[in-house]
Amino acid sequence: MNTRPSCRAAVAAATAAALVSLSGCGDGGDAAPVPAGPVTVAGVQIKKDQALHDLLPEKIRKAGRVRVATDVPYAPFEMFVKEGGSELTGLDYDLGQALGAKLGVSFAFTPQKFDGIIPGLQAGKFEVAMSAITDNKERQKVVDFVDYSRSGSGVLVAEGNPSKVTTLDDLCGRKVAVQAATNQLDLLTGHQTACAKAGKAKISIQTFPKDSDAQLALRAGKVVAQVLTKPAAGWVAKTADSGGTFDLVEDPAAPGGYGASPNGIAVSKQLPELTDAIQKALQALIDEGTLALVYNQYGVGSIAVETATKNAAVD
C-alpha cells in the first residue's frame, strides 16, 4: 500500500511554488552546473561536505552531476511549478537538491515515464531515480535503494474532523470514499472483518473512478472520510483551499500510514560508491533536521525516516 507499487492515483491539489531556485530539467545527457555555493532548501542553507564528496565515484566527481530520472507529476513528490512548464518542484526534487548540495554536485532531474525508470538505470542513461519508488525485493535484484520514507494509506476528513475519526476502527458503520481498484479499497475491504469482530457495522464503502471525485463527496458531506495514499492525503489537507477544507488523520499506531512500506532512492548497482555517499548524505540531512523540514513543507512529515537505510524492504 505504498506510494508507487504499480499504479498511481490522481491528486486534486494545487501545485506548490518552487522551494528551490535550481532547475534540473535536462535531457539527461548535458552536464548540469555544479552549485557555486550553499543551496537553500526549505529555508535551510546546505553546504558541500568535502568528506562526502570524496566518497563519490570518480566519474560523478568529474561530471559534477548525478543524472536523476523522475516521473512527473505525482504530487507531492514531483510536480511542475507551472502547468505546461518544465521547471520542477516537489518533495523528491527538493530532497535531490539538498543531497546534491551536501555532496557538492548537482542532481539533474529528467522526466521519464515510470515504467522506463529502472530500465533507464540499467542502461546507464541515469545514475539515480527519485520518484516515490517502492523498495521491494524484486526491484532490489536490479537496483539498490537508499530508503528515505515509509508510507501507506491515510485517512482524509473534513476540516476539524467533525466525525472524530482517529483510527480505521472509527470508519466502521460509516460511509467512506475511496478510488476504485486501489490498494486503499483493498484496505477497507479487508478491515470489514475487524469491524465485525468488534461488534460494529461494516464500513459503507463508496467507490469513485478518481481520487478527485472521492474528495468532492467528502467536501459535500456525503461521506465522513476518504482513504487514499498518506502522502496524497497530507498534500491535499495542506493545499486544498489553503488548508482550510480537509484534515489528515494521524494515527500514532501507524505514523507512515496503514500498510506502510519503504520508499527508496534507486541507484544503479554499478555504482555502489554512489549508493554509500547518498546514504551518508541523507543521514546528515536527517541529523541536521533538514529532512523533516522538507517533508513538513508538503504536509507529510510523519512519513520521514529517522535513519537512512539501504534496501530495507524484506518482501
Average pLDDT over residues 191-198: 98
Per-residue b/e over 295-315, b at no fewer than 16 CB within 10 Å? bebbbbbbbbbeebbbbbbee
> Is the alpha carbon torsion for 228, 231, 233, 239 positive or negative?
negative
What nine digits make up the cell of 4? 508507487
pLDDT at 9: 38
Q: Per DSSP, what are the bridge partners of residue 25?
A: none
The answer for residues whose C-beta is within 8 angstroms of residue 119's C-beta and 6 or more apart is none
pLDDT at 25: 35
Residue showing cell 564528496: 53
pLDDT at 4: 57
Q: Per DSSP, what are the bridge partners of residue 155?
A: 227
On the 0-12 / 13-18 / 19+ scale of CB atoms within 10 A, 150 is buried
Say how far apart CA 219 and CA 59 lie, in whole Å. Answer: 52
- Calculate ∠ Cα 60-282-133, nearest 5°: 85
Residue type, 59: K
Residue 88 has pLDDT above 50, yes or no: yes
Instruction: For residue 13, name the pLDDT band (cuts at 50, 70, 90).
Output: very low
The dihedrals phi and psi of 128, each to the nearest 5 degrees, come to -140, 155
Average pLDDT over residues 253-267: 97
pLDDT at 32: 55
Residue 5 has pLDDT above 70, yes or no: no
- Please provide the average confidence, as pLDDT, over all residues in the chain: 90
pLDDT at 284: 98
The residue that leads in pLDDT, 297 or 33, is 297
Please write the tens of the pLDDT for every residue from 112-169.
999 999 999 999 999 999 999 999 999 999 999 999 999 999 999 999 999 999 999 9
What predicted TM-score, i.e. pTM, was given to this entire model?
0.88
Please write the tens of the pLDDT for every residue from 23-67.
333 344 444 566 667 899 999 999 999 999 999 999 999 999 999
Say how far apart CA 234 and CA 249 lie, in whole Å. Answer: 9
Q: Which domains does the chain carry?
A: 39-149+261-310 (3.40.190.10), 152-258 (3.40.190.10)
pLDDT at 232: 96
Say how far apart CA 303 and CA 149 lie, in whole Å. Answer: 5
Please write the tens of the pLDDT for every residue from 222-247.
999 999 999 999 999 999 999 999 99
